[in-house]
Structure 1
């Protein structure tokens, strides 16, 4: 990130009101730049309640922040005073909801309250979301797919595409043959499962290593400052800096009640410790995926696209509430977010804080040499060994 952008973002973030923020942004950037700044804590926002987070019969529909407090600064529209934002909403489903949907459409045994599920489906249809299953595909691609699983996933994809059709009748679903172009799309989605599996999902692999190491640190009573120990490991061994996740782990080390649901299954050793840790990693990964979607969907676009996630898992609600995004910046070379709490709220070690800033380029150069799969396997082996000793 160049110095001008960094200084401007800092000035905007610490400004007292929306008018001042707009003035600073317009003074720094013009239509030749390609920068969007999403402000998510603005009292002067006129975004309607239509974009708020919702809950329907226990089914959560939420973004990584409160969109009703949004204000968008866009260099392509700097100094325009009467711009009308065109906003679309994209809803990502978790694996469980996609499974429920498939069983509901195919009239299979569904061990949930059907009328409540139908009311939830009707609600999201009414609010005119676009629908996405990419995060669920990424999660599913991390596990093996035998012949039966492949067949089920083919059915899930078909059911998803039927539901996404504007003419789909939620209260009276009828299994129909998809048009030829939709079958082609279904095949493309199915093929992406295997492409994702073949690719190394670096972000997820790094997160797995991070959480596996955090678990080991939490169990080690000899480590006094667990947050600093984990941050040191992340910077020096993984060559990544994960501010959001480091903050979450600081709460985990304290057994903080604000994230009780998220981490309750990995407070100590169980008979399937690694599996529970990796499941928790996926919960946190979904928060990151929503940020990635905000960048991908909004880069070089005039329309604004807001990402939502839907699940019945209360852990996701905790993760959304515990440290919301206050500012999100999309620019030519990437994106970054500023959340309510940052690294200086949990770390006072000046050496580590300096490493974050001064060694950023070094980490960028070194990360390609990190074998995350090998590191993940090493940590899993250590946890399994400790688990076996505990339960012998």
Structure 2
């Protein structure tokens, strides 16, 4: 039976996460632990547990691995770990995986075919890293983005070929690679085909699993809504002050979306300040007919970042206490966006896939330029009444309807053919 109401639980978790130091957070956790459900806290830290290879890494030509945190280690708090630390160091197994995004997986296929001129200069370096036996990779980001394309035969064939390339990498003959530089799977062609067919079959099964599709669509639709609204605000009056643009987006969050998506506000602040000079929005221009298509792809990028938060809450394999996700990408515009919002800590209740991420810094100072603006935002949008109203708004908000309204609002700025 829960001792705390949902509101009280959120308050306690915030108290622990927003403490000034790890020592203070740990002390707060020990204070509240008897009344907490099975909560877990993962803090960015220079000391503590190693999350495997799910740490930030930059390759020579700019490809990166990015985790949720900017530190090489993490400090975790949970009932079992804290109890063990009372008598000495806590030792436990972890699980991790690095997801290859759509661009990374697209480069893999020509590399395996020897078409090295079509890929970035540092792909060999990346390839050598991800083909190591102690580095775990997955194609989940690519699969989530492309489930919707399976019903199209031409697209499904391309997906199959990319998954076959992934299976080749997963079963690479590393001895042959090291001794002769030959890229070849340890599986026979028939075994490789079978593995790829089984993988795409699992994707087809996901088409019939409404929960899987709903989770992916919900994250994507929310990011797409925010991107549409950002562009509407910027196109409508690019010379409007930064504070007024942020205020308009806050009103949209409060009155229509029903949620203030903190990560998207960090992006909005950069976009409202730099416009098209922010590479992520470089191709979003007035009088173009492909804005919706471009924003849809950008929304999938943001969805992959949010999926890392969600994946952190997934129960790992038996025997492991935590699962740590990361993302590998070559997209320099997306990398710039990922680096805008490192986390200080992500908290969750075991069994609930509801991450509570906290920005590594003062979020209110991030989106405001002075104390007056910060105070105005807190008074208007973070009062008890405003928070309650947003919770009610979320229950009735239909993102698909909101998307239709926003697209209609943006259309006058686009070229019509």
**Bin for the TM-score computed over the shorter chain:** 0.7 to 0.9
Query: Tell me, what secondary structure is at the counterpart of 2:203?
Result: helix
Name which of 204, 217, 242 aligns with 2:233. Answer: 217
For residues 367 and 15 of structure 1, do their structure 2 counterparts lie closer, same or farther at Cα, with a shift above 3 Å needed?
Answer: closer
Note the alpha carbon deviations across 1:312-363, whole angstroms, 9 max, x for none: 10123212322210011011442201102454222433453235x5344544
Contact 2:49 2:76 in 1 (8 A): no
Contact 1:35 1:330 in 2 (8 A): yes
Note the alpha carbon deviations across 1:214-241, whole angstroms, 9 max, x for none: 1111122285501111111122112222
For residues 368 and 181 of structure 1, do their structure 2 counterparts lie closer, same or farther at Cα, with a shift above 3 Å needed?
Answer: same
Q: How big is the shift at 1:10?
A: 1.8
Name which of 270, 273, 276 aligns with 1:254. Answer: 273
Pair 1:379 & 2:396 matched: no
Contact 2:344 2:359 in 1 (8 A): yes
Pair 1:285 & 2:291 matched: no
Structure 2 equivalent of residue 101 of structure 1: 108
Contact 2:65 2:328 in 1 (8 A): yes
User: Structure 1: how far apart are the matches of 2:395 and 2:189?
Assistant: 47
Note the alpha carbon deviations across 1:236-260, whole angstroms, 9 max, x for none: 1122221121232122111179x82
Note the alpha carbon deviations across 1:12-46, whole angstroms, 9 max, x for none: 53243x33432332232159831111110x34446
Name which of 172, 184, 187 aligns with 1:173. Answer: 184
Name which of 315, 324, 328 aligns with 1:306. Answer: 324
Query: Tell me, what secondary structure is at the counterpart of 2:99?
Result: strand
Cα root mean square deviation, aligned:
3.4
Name which of 234, 259, 263 aligns with 2:253. Answer: 234
Structure 2 equivalent of residue 370 of structure 1: 397
Alignment of 1:1-392 (within 5 A): 1-3=6-8, 6-7=11-12, 9-11=14-16, 13-16=18-21, 18-29=22-33, 33-40=37-44, 42-45=45-48, 47=50, 52-56=55-59, 57-81=61-85, 82-105=89-112, 107=113, 109=115, 111-113=117-119, 116-126=122-132, 128-142=134-148, 145-165=151-171, 167=173, 171-174=182-185, 176-178=189-191, 183-192=197-206, 199=214, 201-221=217-237, 224=241, 225-255=244-274, 260-266=278-284, 268-297=286-315, 302-332=320-350, 333=352, 334-345=354-365, 346=367, 347=374, 348-354=376-382, 357-388=384-415
Q: How big is the shift at 1:299?
A: 11
Structure 2 runs not aligned, ≥5 long:
1-5, 368-373
Contact 2:235 2:286 in 1 (8 A): yes
Contact 1:91 1:131 in 2 (8 A): yes
Query: Tell me, what secondary structure is at the counterpart of 1:254?
Result: helix
Size of the aligned set, in residue pairs, is 385
Contact 1:138 1:193 in 2 (8 A): no
Contact 1:232 1:352 in 2 (8 A): no
Query: Tell me, what secondary structure is at the counterpart of 1:323?
Result: coil
Query: Tell me, what secondary structure is at the counterpart of 1:388?
Result: coil
Q: How big is the shift at 1:188?
A: 1.0
Contact 2:288 2:414 in 1 (8 A): yes
User: Structure 1: how far apart are the matches of 2:207 and 2:169?
Assistant: 20
Contact 1:64 1:325 in 2 (8 A): yes
Query: Tell me, what secondary structure is at the counterpart of 1:141?
Result: helix
Contact 1:50 1:127 in 2 (8 A): no
For residues 301 and 338 of structure 1, do their structure 2 counterparts lie closer, same or farther at Cα, with a shift above 3 Å needed?
Answer: farther
Contact 1:247 1:342 in 2 (8 A): no
For residues 142 and 388 of structure 1, do their structure 2 counterparts lie closer, same or farther at Cα, with a shift above 3 Å needed?
Answer: same
Q: How big is the shift at 1:306?
A: 1.3
